[in-house]
Structure formats: structure tokens, C-alpha cells
């Protein structure tokens, strides 16, 4: 930074004084030309985390500012050693990140020639810590009010942020330091024990170990589940003068429920119902209000994007990050379209709620806006943030569509509709519940009709199973006799709990207070990349490596995989953030017991390494006749002979794709490039070299009958794989 920050410059000499001084000087000679001022000299510097965010902010700040990106963290604990001085009260030993050397050099140069440096990293713990590290790196004065935050990257959001600079919030920084040191202690102390007993390269983590444990426990529940048989009886009925059929389910007798465990019990009831009269015993009419869901927080956005679009959490957060950082929207210029996407707060600003009100009243009318504006309360949230909402409610998804990629549009539409619906009137349904008597046995039937659609005119979060429910029953009168159309018993079996999907896992983590919004996506990514867990469709399944690693950690470090312990640790980090608990006290309390477990584990984990069981396939090795097994390599899974080193036969693991090659008609296969990118090619390679980056579909072209391909992205479409066929249609036509 220039000296204008440190010292006041002397006043300039008057014009007359200058003339006298010049005359008294040495004889005139040609003076050297002054060097040109460096770019950005004297300007105010704003440091953000990403170039995309910086580009948007620069347009709002104008010529007096330079905006540069730190590209994330610039200082961290060293990778080569623990980096935490345990003997010196757990002091972290930060170093500059080597890969960031060019960025650091640029930041120092820019700061040196700037009149003021503003730190505008993300508004959360990580962002606060990055700003703190930048303060140290750039030698900025302590206590300088130069920390600015933007909840939204719009002209108003940037203006408000720059108008309210503050000092670094050390409580936020300390919460991040506590988390970082805890994770380092767990990872660097347990991992070597895993290397000793299982294999090198493995890692343990404070949150990732709990995630693996949850997935393993769920798989154990599924494997140990014993289905139980049960039966139901359903009567299909209609009125004497109205042939609209409806279904009534068997409930019991004389107000007591009867459970049917097997066919004999069901058949006994069916026999007693032979020739029975079905008479309406009771009719209950009611009204039910269905309130809109609250606006999105990080976890619920990830869950809904997974349910609706099949998006993995990383994909959802990538699109949300882009929408937050800003883009050029046709007709509106450059702006961020949504507020900060890492939040667990349900709070909405008065300005945002007013924007929603104006849109609802002008588009749908007064009936669709509640008498009392909706205000949602958060639980254990950083209320400095808002919920995830559109920054400019008047920009509808349709207006922004042409400026967005397919993923960005889907996420923006989801966020916009959810926010708008959260401010609308409830859906009102008329319900009816009928009890029907048949030879002393009771059947029940229920239905509903929508009297006022309310928020569902815009947004419906009904789950698939809810959508299959009946509509309204025909008008029924008490003591009315009905006509039996069909009566039958149905066999059922209880089902095991489902495997976790990313959506259901995130919901479980949130409900149990494990991790925070910013950690869900990267934690799931870590357990997948470490191959502790693998995907089977949308489901998450533990691998043999995950099971063995989880068992070793569970046996020796029970608290590390304990849900309640991990949740309590998150609560302590929240107390640090609130300034109610010293961060090093959290580390001290944890490490005392952890150190004892480490010493015991060091004694217990001895002997030969655990041999991992490879997955056996039905593919026979053509060289020695053994069943080949699945191995993991640099480019993914492959088949190998278990007879190694006597038999070294390997072959690629074929994953079939939908459709057929448009050139030769052979099956298509899913393949992986050397850079790890997925593509699809003909199974007849090298005889046929057809390949595509776009996803083959099971549907065929209505023009030529060849396989259709799906191209995602901003210009996404469905098109024919036959290069001589021009058939295509938009993704929104699917």
C-alpha cells in the first residue's frame, strides 16, 4: 500500500516559491521523463475469491477500483506434516500455498500501489478466514475496517456492502480455525494407522468417517432385513345411481383395527364378506390447508434438485455458485441472480418480500397473497444470511432462460418458484372420509378435491407417492347402500429401508446436526473419490474398502463415528462463532480423550494387513479359467484375473449404454477418456470408431429409427445420432 495510508503528505509549495527554487537551481538541463504510473496505482483494491464474482463486482464499482481474485485460500496448514504445534497449545503453523505463488505475488503488487484494500471474500467462516489470512499476507494494519460482504452480487448488494465495511470477525475466523485443526488432527493421526493395517493412501476425517458409517449401517440393515408377510383387502364400490368407482380399504371390526398376517387370515375375512351389504356408516367432511414450503436453504435445495432432476449435490452447488457470482442477463446487464447459496437461514429481507408481494398481486391477484405476510424462523442458523432467493424477483425464469445454461436455468427456476410460492396463500382442499359397514366389518375410503389452488398454481412439491392418491369421492349419504364391483385380498411384504441417495443422506446429516451447508457436497465427493462409497444409480453403497476402514475406525475410535458426538462438536463450533467459547478450549477438550485412543490403537493395530475381498464376476479368464474380479485403477474399474502374479490377464470392464451405433448397429458402451471424462462409443471399436460425448437414449428417432442423443448445456437438445438425419427437439419438449 502507498504511504498515504500511513503518513500525511506535506502541502505542495506555492507557484511563486517554485519559480524562485527553480531559478536558484543549477543551469537548466533536459529532465528525465517521469515513468508512467502503474496500472491501478492509487486506486482502491477489492479482493474477492473468484474471477467470475470479481468481474461482476468490477462493473458496479467503476474506475476508482481494481478487483482481483485470491482463487480461494492462499495460506493453509502444510501437507507434508501435521502443522499443528500440540505442545504449544495447538498453535496452527500456516504457510503460503505453493500453487498460489503467482496469485500471491500479484496480490502483493496490487496492494502495494493501492490507496485502500477491501477484503470481499465470501460471507461465511471460510471467507472470513481467507480475509484474515490476506490481512497477514499483505501486512494490512490490524483493526482496519476493510472487510465487506455481499449477500447478493447486484448493484444494490455491492453498494450496501461497500457502504458498511467492518473489521475482521475473529469469532468467525476462530470457528474456522477450530474446524481446520480438528480435521487435521483426526486425519493426520488416524490415517497412518489405516496405512499400516489396510493400505497406503487412505484417509480418515471427522465428518467423512460419520458419513461412511451411516452408509455402512444402512447397508447392514438392508442385508439383515427379514421380510414379513401381510395382507390387505380392498373393495371397489360405486353408488346405485353413479357408476364412478372408488376403493375402500379393510380396517377392522367394531372400531378395532385388524392386521392380516397371511392368506388364511385374509381368506377367512373374505369368506365372511360373501353376500355382504356395503352400507355407508359415517361421512366426515372437512377442510385442510396446505401451507407453502419455506424458501430454500443449502440442504433443501440440494435435496429438491436431486429429487426433481437427479442432480448430484456438487452439480447443484456449481450451478448455484455461478448464479450467485453473476452473469450477463439479456435486457438486465450483469448481475448475480440468486443470493449466497451456502446458508441455513430462512430469513428474507423486507425488500425481497415486498418484491414477491408485488409480483403475486399483479400476476395472480389478491386471493393469492395471504392477509399476514409469511415470515419463517430459522433454527441454529447464521441469521446474518438470508435464505436462497432471487436477487431481483421481477426477473422471471422465462426472462433469464436464454442467458443461462440448462443447469443454471433449472436451479434458477427452482429457487425463483420456491421463493415466490413461500410468500403465497395456502392451498385449500375439501376432504371427505367415509366409513362403510359390511357384515360388521369396517372399510374406509377417503378423497379430496382442491377448492383453492393457492401457491400450487406456481410450485408443487408433492412427492410421487402423494400424487397417486385419489381425487374426491362421489357424494355419499349415511345409511346409503353401495354396489360392490370387486373384492380381493392382496399379498404384501415389508420392505427394507432404502439405501441413501445424496438427497436423503444430506437430509439425515442436517437433521442430526452433522456438518454444515458448505460441507455436504465436498464430504460426499471425498468418500466417493476415496472409494469408500460408490454409486449404484442414484443410491450410495459402501465398498469393501469402506466397510473395512469403517470397522477399524469404529473399533478404535468410537467417538469419531458417533453421530451424537459429531453433532455436539458442531454445536461447540457454533458457540465459538458466537463468541461464547474459546476455540482452543474445544481442541483441548477433544484431544485429551483422543490421545488416549491413539495410544491404545497404536498397540492394538498390529499384525498383517487386512486382505480386501475383490468383487467376483461371472466373466471367465480365457487364460486360466478363473472367475475374474473387479479392480480399481487410475481410469476407473477394470477386470483382472485373481491368479496374479501367475496369471496377469486383465481386460476393461464394459458398461453398456442405451441404444445402438448409428453406423453399424452394434451396442454402445460407456467409456472413460484418459482425463477421466465420460463418453460413449461403439462396442465394435476399432472396426467402428463412432463416439459421442452426448448421452444415448433408449428412444429412437421418429424419422430414421436411429438412437437419439441428449446434449446438455446452454444449447441443450435431443437430436438424432445419424449424421444424415436432421431431427432434433428442445429439452423442454421431453
Give the pLDDT confidence of 448-480 residue by residue, as tens digits.
999 999 999 999 875 544 444 456 899 999 999
Q: pLDDT for 49-87, tens place per residue?
A: 999 999 999 999 988 999 999 999 999 999 999 999 999
**Rounded-to-integer distance, Cα 338 and Cα 56, Å:** 13
- Sequence-separated (6 or more) residues with CB below 8 Å from residue 225: 496, 497
pLDDT at 448: 92
Q: What are phi and psi of 249, to 5 degrees?
A: -105, 140
Q: Which has more pLDDT, 381 or 347?
A: 347
Interatomic CA distance for residues 109 and 161, integer angstroms: 25
Specify the length of the chain in residues.
Answer: 734
Contact criterion met (CB below 8 Å) for 502 and 524: yes
- Of 3-12, 207-216, 421-430, the poorest mean pLDDT is in 3-12
The answer to whether 325 and 431 have CB atoms below 8 angstroms apart is no
Q: Give the least confident one: 190-204, 295-309, 404-418, 668-682.
A: 668-682
> Mean per-residue pLDDT for 269-286?
96
For residue 379, the model assigns a pLDDT of: 67
Residue 15 has pLDDT above 60, yes or no: no
State the Rg of the chain over Cα: 33
Predicted pLDDT of residue 715: 67
pLDDT(340) > 60: yes
**DSSP strand pairing (427-438 vs 278-290):** antiparallel
Band (179; pLDDT cuts 50, 70, 90): very high
Distance CA 657, CA 114 (A): 56
Highest mean pLDDT among 49-58, 195-204, 412-421, 517-526: 412-421
Averaged pLDDT, 276-296? 96
The model's confidence at residue 615, banded by pLDDT at 50, 70 and 90, is: confident
Q: In the prediction, which pLDDT does 464 show?
A: 41
pLDDT reported for residue 462: 55
Is the pLDDT at 9 greater than 60, yes or no? Answer: no
Residue 658: count other Cβ atoms within 10 Å of its Cβ. 17
Q: What is the mean pLDDT of residues 315-323?
A: 96
Per-residue model confidence (pLDDT) at position 41: 59
656 band by pLDDT with thresholds 50, 70 and 90: confident
* 633 CB-near residues (< 8 Å, 6+ apart): none
Q: Which residue has the higher pLDDT, 638 or 374?
A: 374
Q: What pLDDT does 30 receive?
A: 45
- Which phi and psi angles does 687 have, rounded to 5°? -60, -35
pLDDT value of position 538: 84
**What average pLDDT does this structure show over 112-120?**
96
Task: Cite the active site residues.
Answer: 340
Q: pLDDT category, 37, cuts 50, 70, 90?
A: very low
Phi, psi of 294 (to 5 degrees): -70, 165
* Long-range contact pairs involving 214-219 (C-beta distance under 8 Å, separation at least 24): 214/500, 214/505, 214/508, 214/563, 215/499, 215/500, 215/505, 215/527, 215/533, 215/540, 215/541, 215/542, 215/546, 216/542, 216/546, 216/547, 216/550, 218/497, 218/499, 218/500, 219/499, 219/541, 219/542
**pTM of the predicted structure, to 2 decimals:** 0.80
Rounded alpha-carbon distances, angstroms, from residue 595 to 293, 559, 588: 46, 12, 10
Please give the mean pLDDT across all residues of the chain: 89
Amino acid at each position: 500500500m502507498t504511504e498515504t495510508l500511513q503518513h500525511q503528505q506535506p502541502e505542495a509549495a506555492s507557484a511563486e516559491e517554485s519559480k524562485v527554487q527553480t531559478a536558484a537551481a543549477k543551469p537548466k538541463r533536459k529532465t528525465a521523463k517521469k515513468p508512467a504510473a502503474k496500472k491501478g496505482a492509487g486506486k482502491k483494491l477489492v479482493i474477492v475469491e473468484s474471477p467470475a464474482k470479481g468481474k461482476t463486482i468490477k462493473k458496479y464499482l467503476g474506475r476508482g477500483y481494481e478487483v482481483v481474485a485470491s482463487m480461494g485460500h492462499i495460506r493453509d496448514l502444510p501437507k507434508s506434516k501435521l502443522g499443528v504445534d500440540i505442545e504449544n497449545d495447538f498453535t496452527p503453523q500456516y504457510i503460503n500455498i505453493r500453487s498460489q505463488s503467482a496469485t500471491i505475488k500479484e496480490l502483493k503488487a496490487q496492494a502495494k500501489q493501492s490507496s485502500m484494500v477491501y477484503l470481499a471474500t465470501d460471507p461465511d467462516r471460510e471467507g472470513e478466514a481467507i480475509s484474515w489470512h490476506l490481512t497477514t499476507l499483505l501486512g494490512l494494519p490490524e483493526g482496519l475496517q476493510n472487510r465487506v460482504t455481499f449477500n447478493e452480487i447486484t448493484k444494490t448488494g455491492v453498494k450496501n456492502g461497500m457502504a458498511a465495511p467492518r473489521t475482521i470477525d475473529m469469532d468467525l475466523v476462530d470457528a474456522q480455525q477450530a474446524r481446520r485443526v480438528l480435521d487435521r488432527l483426526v486425519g493426520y493421526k488416524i490415517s497412518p494407522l489405516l496405512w499400516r493395517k489396510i493400505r497406503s493412501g487412505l484417509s480418515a476425517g471427522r465428518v467423512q468417517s460419520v458419513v461412511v458409517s451411516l452408509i455402512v449401517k444402512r447397508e447392514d440393515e438392508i442385508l439383515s432385513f427379514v421380510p414379513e408377510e401381510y395382507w390387505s383387502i380392498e373393495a371397489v364400490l360405486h353408488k346405485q345411481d353413479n357408476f364412478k368407482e372408488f376403493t375402500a380399504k379393510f380396517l377392522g371390526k367394531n372400531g378395532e383395527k385388524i392386521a392380516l398376517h397371511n392368506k388364511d387370515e385374509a381368506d377367512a375375512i373374505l369368506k365372511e364378506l360373501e353376500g355382504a351389504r356395503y352400507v355407508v356408516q359415517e361421512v366426515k367432511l372437512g377442510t385442510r390447508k396446505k401451507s407453502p414450503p419455506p424458501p430454500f436453504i443449502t440442504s433443501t435445495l440440494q435435496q429438491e434438485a436431486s429429487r426433481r432432476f437427479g442432480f448430484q449435490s456438487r452439480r447443484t452447488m456449481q450451478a448455484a455458485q455461478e448464479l450467485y457470482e453473476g452473469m450477463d442477463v439479456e435486457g438486465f446487464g450483469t448481475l448475480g441472480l440468486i443470493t449466497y447459496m451456502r446458508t441455513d437461514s430462512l430469513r428474507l429481507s423486507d425488500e425481497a418480500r415486498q418484491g414477491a408481494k408485488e409480483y403475486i398481486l399483479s400476476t395472480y391477484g389478491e386471493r393469492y397473497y395471504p392477509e399476514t405476510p409469511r415470515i419463517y424462523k430459522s433454527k441454529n442458523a447464521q441469521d446474518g444470511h438470508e435464505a436462497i432467493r432471487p436477487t431481483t424477483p421481477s426477473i422471471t425464469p422465462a426472462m433469464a432462460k436464454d442467458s443461462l445454461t440448462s443447469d443454471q436455468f433449472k436451479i434458477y427456476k427452482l429457487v425463483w418458484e420456491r421463493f415466490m410460492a413461500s410468500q403465497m396463500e395456502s392451498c385449500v382442499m375439501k376432504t371427505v372420509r367415509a366409513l362403510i359397514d359390511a357384515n360388521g366389518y369396517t372399510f374406509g375410503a377417503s378423497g379430496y378435491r382442491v377448492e383453492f389452488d393457492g401457491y400450487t398454481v406456481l410450485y408443487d412439491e408433492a412427492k410421487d407417492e402423494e400424487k397417486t392418491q385419489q381425487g374426491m369421492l362421489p357424494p355419499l349419504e349415511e345409511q346409503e347402500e353401495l354396489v360392490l364391483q370387486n373384492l380381493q385380498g392382496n399379498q404384501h411384504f415389508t420392505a427394507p429401508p432404502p439405501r441413501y441417495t445424496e438427497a436423503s443422506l444430506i437430509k439425515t446429516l442436517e437433521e442430526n446436526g452433522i456438518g454444515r451447508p458448505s460441507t455436504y457436497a465436498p464430504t460426499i465427493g471425498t468418500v466417493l473419490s476415496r472409494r469408500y462409497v460408490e454409486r449404484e444409480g442414484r443410491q450410495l453403497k459402501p465398498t469393501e474398502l469402506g466397510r473395512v476402514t469403517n470397522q477399524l475406525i469404529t473399533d478404535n475410535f468410537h467417538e469419531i463415528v458417533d453421530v451424537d458426538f459429531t453433532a455436539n462438536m458442531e454445536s461447540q463450533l457454533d458457540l465459538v462463532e458466537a463468541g461464547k467459547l474459546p476455540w482452543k478450549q474445544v481442541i483441548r477438550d477433544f484431544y485429551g480423550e483422543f490421545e488416549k485412543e491413539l495410544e491404545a490403537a497404536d498397540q492394538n493395530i498390529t499384525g498383517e494387513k487386512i486382505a480386501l475381498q475383490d468383487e467376483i464376476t461371472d466373466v471367465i479368464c480365457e487364460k486360466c479359467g478363473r472367475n475374474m474380479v473387479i479392480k480399481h485403477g487410475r481410469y476407473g474399474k477394470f477386470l483382472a484375473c485373481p491368479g496374479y502374479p501367475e496369471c496377469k490377464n486383465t481386460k476393461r470392464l464394459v458398461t453398456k449404454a442405451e441404444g445402438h451405433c448409428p453406423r453399424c448397429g452394434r451396442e454402445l458402451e460407456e467409456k472413460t477418456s484418459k482425463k477421466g471424462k465420460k463418453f460413449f462409443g461403439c462396442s465394435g471399436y476399432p472396426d467402428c470408431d463412432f463416439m459421442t460425448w452426448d448421452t444415448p437414449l433408449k428412444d429412437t428417432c421418429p424419422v430414421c429409427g436411429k438412437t437419439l442423443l441428449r446434449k446438455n448445456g446452454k444449447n441443450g437438445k435431443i437430436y438424432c445420432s445419424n449424421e444424415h438425419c436432421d431431427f432434433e427437439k428442445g429439452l423442454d419438449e421431453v
